[in-house]
Amino acid sequence: MEIASFVLEAISFLRDCSPTTRGNLISICRLQKNTKSLKTEKGKLMELRDDVKARVDTALPYRKQVTGWLRRVEELDTELETVLHQVEERDKETQQRCCRGYLFPRSLRSHFKLGKLVLEKLKDVADLKETGENFGDIADMLPQPLVDEMPLGDTVGMDSNFREVWNYFCDPGAGIIGIYGMGGVGKTTLLTRINNELIGRVGQDYDVVIWTVVSRDQNDEKVQDKIGQKLGFPDEIWNRMGRSEKAKSIFRVLKTKRFVLLLDDLWDVYDLTEAGVPLPSEQNKAKVVLTTRREDVCDLMHAQRKFRVNCLAWREAWRLFQSKVGQEVLQSNPAIFELAVAIAEECSGLPLALITVGQAMRSRRTIEEWRYAATTLRKSAAEFTSMEKKVISLLEFSFDNLPDDTTKSCFLYCALYPEDWYLDTVNLINTWLGEGFLDQSENLSEAYDKGCHIIGTLKLACLLESGERIADNYIKMHDMIRDNALWVISDKGATKGKTLVQANLNLTKAPANSKWEKAERIFLMKNSINQLTGSPRCPNLLTLDLRWNDLRMISDSFFDFMPCLKLVDLSTNKHLAELPRSFYKLVSLQHLDLSYTGIKELSLEFRNLTKLKFLYVNNMDELRVLPQQVLSNLSMLKRLDLFHSGISDQEVDGNVFSGGNELLMDELECLQDLQALSFTVKSEHGLRRFSRSSKLQSVTYGLDIELCRGTTILRLQSDMGLSWVQISNCCDLEEVAIDWVGGSETPCNNRNLSATCLVHLGSLIIKNCKVLVHLNWLIWVPNLKSLTIANCEAMKKLIGHGDADAGGAEITEESSVFCNLQTLELNDLPQLKSICSHPLSFDSLRTIHVFDCPELKKLPFHANSAKDKIYSISGQKTWWDGLQWDNMTIKSTFAPYFWEL
């Protein structure tokens, strides 16, 4: 019955079929073969899908035609699973019927329909395969892992910088590298050279190199856009993404690549993780190189290594300048050649300035043109052709980026000093205080800390440079930076025309009084002005700086019309013997510096200057008269410098008193606002009086002790705020000791106490102390930077004298003794045999000077002492040749730094 039923069903089905369908019956009946083909083609389609998807996911997450095709493949994959399941069920049924003796399936119609469906899906698979294969090379749609070659300017003098950075770049451990320096110094040129050097490395060591400029006003998303553009993301999709989506897309691409990211001109920290950039590691072999004008940006970016790009040395600077001017012009006239040298020197090694000036002078052929150029550059670089646009304005960006107006004012003030001037940071901060840039209501110590912070900020911004060969407390300003600052002062905003600066111009006469009238600040330092005459009307004048001149006379009426004057600096006018009567009318005066003048007497009228807060009358050898009740009447004094003044030599006599007697100290103790004092003590009596005054000890930062006969032991309290101490001509002094606050006599078993002992003491000078044997107490002074010992006949060891080193403290190579010492000077010490019994690290030592120390046969150095810090070791050749070394490696390490005296 079933066979008959099947035959009738087949006849009916064939009758209902169209001719076309009947023509395909043979193919449809091949269901098993077609199903096998479908499975095979499905597998190939899925392989193609996986291949396309993998390449797209790692390089291009979105492309309409690709994503649409992938979606259709996924949909067809689901349909194919259903069809193949139906075929599998049909096969099971057929096998069961055959086992029972039946030849045909239960329903021929459904069998044919299933075969037709299989054929349709085969066609769908073929169509999708053809579409996928016809995408062509997916790589054509994706970003090529290339580095774009960039035009490279002159690299004269930059070879050593490049080699140093490149050698570190090639280190597998290098991840983030910072390159910093002032504007125009060649940071971008160096980065460009690194970029171009990578051209031959792509495909071998790296997959992609991305260059992006991070301008100051750019937001983080714009940098993302540049990275995305380099990676080839299509604009129509990319522009619809938010910042987070962009980060995910960038990360999905870069996490599988060995990339190099070059970030040029970074002004602030840039969060790589938030941007989607994987952090470099040895595993992903990625690198990030950044350039910035701020050293602290390198630290904020967690650079493993940072490199400073400095201005060119003269030889390289001259080569660069010659290449821009051309030999034809330089050799046309010897006078032009000499002027060219002078002009190149004015550029102070700044590559951008050398290039700009050199190119501008290439077409100049006459001596007059070259002479005019030299004069213009000396007066103001901003007036030179192209300099304002290309150089000065570039440097102005650094100024504009300073954090606040106080920092900007302090920076501009540094430019008022002469060119190439080394500024003592303490004196500079004193002047900032006098000018009112720093809050005078603050504790002076806090104000000094703030001043140091500002100097640090300016150094990090590469607007100030360390006086590295001198000491950390000196700074200087690059000539081009100074020109930029003077341009800002003279030409911008409210300051225009209000500052008169004529420093170090060899002036013998002061500018005409008419030039003074509108000024608020006048700086005439480092000239040869010998007199000030007339009565200039200066209703708005706040600052008058005449230090380092040759003043001999100031007319009596000179200060009559300067009612607002707050700061006067007459220091280092050695021939100035007296102040005019009009000077005592300056009732607004807050800062006065008379140090290193020849003034012999300060009038009783001096007490009228009741607003004085900062008074410097130190190193005035001729000063003999300082009336009583003058100092005590200056009740607003915060800082007073009296050391090395002639008044210290006088005994009490009417209204004259000495620096070491009780009358002077009584007056000083009356100054309730006094926070910083330096003075000289010249008697044992005065020293005892000083030691009894907790007020004076608490405010004294500088102490000069001279001629204290009879004093065998000098005791210093461990908590004193002394910054410097000088001890001289104390012929009976055998020992300097520390009185430990809290009652401890010796801290030999507590190393931590050294962190609280005379923590501010940075400079110590000891001279002509004939019986002083050692300086063991110095091992407890943690921050000493400068040490000078001279004419101490009995001294055999600086530290480590006796059976126990410095009171029982053990000194080893790991000791922190002298860890901050920068300069060491030893003169005329006939018995000195040892500086220290063990080699020390001398982490900060830059210079050591030894003269007439014949018994000093060994320096306490090991191979790593003063590493990367030492600048010079000066002494007699016979002394150097007689030194003993633990091994030749140590000698060869220090031999290049020896200078013969």
Quick one: pLDDT band at residue 620, thresholds 50, 70, 90?
Answer: very high
**Under a CB-based contact definition with an 8 Å cutoff, are residues 232 and 142 in contact?**
yes
Contacts of 47 (CB under 8 A, 6+ apart): none
Picking from 419-433, 448-462, 469-483, 769-783, which range would have the lowest pLDDT averaged per residue?
Answer: 469-483
Q: Residue 725: is its pLDDT beyond 50? A: yes
Using CA atoms, how far apart are residues 273 and 247, in angstroms rounded to an integer?
8
Which has more confidence, 445 or 572?
Answer: 572
Which has more confidence, 224 or 72?
Answer: 224
The candidate with the shortest Cα–Cα distance to 260, out of 334, 330, 342, 169, is: 169
Q: Residue 318: is its pLDDT beyond 80? A: yes
The candidate with the shortest Cα–Cα distance to 820, out of 843, 802, 801, 837, is: 843
For residue 485, the 8-state DSSP code is H
The pLDDT of residue 845 is: 92
Quick one: pLDDT band at residue 474, thresholds 50, 70, 90?
Answer: confident
Which has more confidence, 187 or 236?
Answer: 187
Using CA atoms, how far apart are residues 539 and 21, in angstroms rounded to an integer?
113
The pLDDT of residue 546 is: 97
The candidate with the shortest Cα–Cα distance to 264, out of 192, 163, 169, is: 192
Q: Residue 110: is its pLDDT beyond 70? A: no
Which has more confidence, 200 or 517?
Answer: 517
The pLDDT of residue 54 is: 56
Would you list the DSSP string of 351-412? HHHHHHHHHHHTT--SHHHHHHHHHHHHH-GGGSTTHIIIIIHHHHHHHHTSSSHHHHHHHH
List strand residue ranges (DSSP E) for 214-317, in order. Answer: 259-266, 287-292, 305-308
Picking from 613-627, 667-681, 735-749, 798-812, which range would have the lowest pLDDT averaged per residue?
Answer: 798-812
For residues 789-816, average pLDDT: 70
The domain 159-308 is classified under which CATH number: 3.30.565.10, 3.40.50.300, 3.30.559.10, 3.40.50.12500?
3.40.50.300
For residue 755, the 8-state DSSP code is G
For residue 722, the 8-state DSSP code is -
What tens digit of pLDDT does each residue of 678-706 get?
989 888 888 888 888 989 999 999 999 98
What tens digit of pLDDT does each residue of 649-659 get?
444 443 334 44
Contacts of 833 (CB under 8 A, 6+ apart): 796, 797, 855, 856, 857
The pLDDT of residue 380 is: 74
Contacts of 598 (CB under 8 A, 6+ apart): 573, 574, 575, 576, 577, 620, 621, 622
Quick one: pLDDT band at residue 108, thresholds 50, 70, 90?
Answer: low
Asked whether the whole model's pTM tops 0.85, one would answer: no
What tens digit of pLDDT does each residue of 239-255 get?
888 889 889 988 988 98
By DSSP bridging, strand 474-476 and strand 423-424 are: antiparallel
Q: Residue 349: is its pLDDT beyond 80? A: yes
The pLDDT of residue 96 is: 60
Torsion sign over Cα 346, 348, 349, 355: negative
Would you list the DSSP string of 579-591? --GGGGG-TT--E
Contacts of 194 (CB under 8 A, 6+ apart): 162, 165, 166, 169, 262, 289
Would you list the DSSP string of 512-576? PGGGTTT-SEEE--SS---EE-S----TT--EEE--SS---EE-TTTTTT-TT--EEE--S-TT-
Q: Residue 673: is its pLDDT beyond 60? A: yes
The candidate with the shortest Cα–Cα distance to 583, out of 610, 613, 605, is: 605
For residues 118-144, average pLDDT: 66
For residues 269-292, average pLDDT: 91
Percentage above 70 pLDDT, the chain? 82
Q: Residue 442: is its pLDDT beyond 80? A: no
Token pair recorded at residue 411: 């920076």
Using CA atoms, how far apart are residues 467 and 420, in angstroms rounded to an integer?
11
Contacts of 354 (CB under 8 A, 6+ apart): 312, 317, 320, 321, 324, 344, 347
Indicate the angle between helix axes 367-379 and 334-346, nearest 10 degrees: 20
The pLDDT of residue 142 is: 47
Using CA atoms, how far apart are residues 869 and 443, in angstroms rounded to an integer?
34
Quick one: pLDDT band at residue 822, thresholds 50, 70, 90?
Answer: very high
The candidate with the shortest Cα–Cα distance to 125, out of 89, 84, 77, 173, is: 77
State the burial class of residue 692 (Cβ atoms within 10 Å of its Cβ: 0-12, 13-18, 19+). exposed
Q: Where do the structural domains in the chain lie, given as residue ranges?
A: 2-141, 159-308, 314-379, 405-496, 709-901
The pLDDT of residue 242 is: 87
**Under a CB-based contact definition with an 8 Å cutoff, are residues 116 and 28 in contact?**
yes
H or E element that contains 847? strand 847-851
CA distances to 303, 345, 396, 479 from 482, in Å: 30, 15, 11, 5
Q: Residue 99: is its pLDDT beyond 80? A: no
Token pair recorded at residue 855: 């018994």
Picking from 78-82, 547-551, 779-783, 819-823, which range would have the lowest pLDDT averaged per residue?
Answer: 78-82
Quick one: pLDDT band at residue 66, thresholds 50, 70, 90?
Answer: low
Token pair recorded at residue 352: 């951008």
Using CA atoms, how far apart are residues 69 and 60, in angstroms rounded to an integer?
15
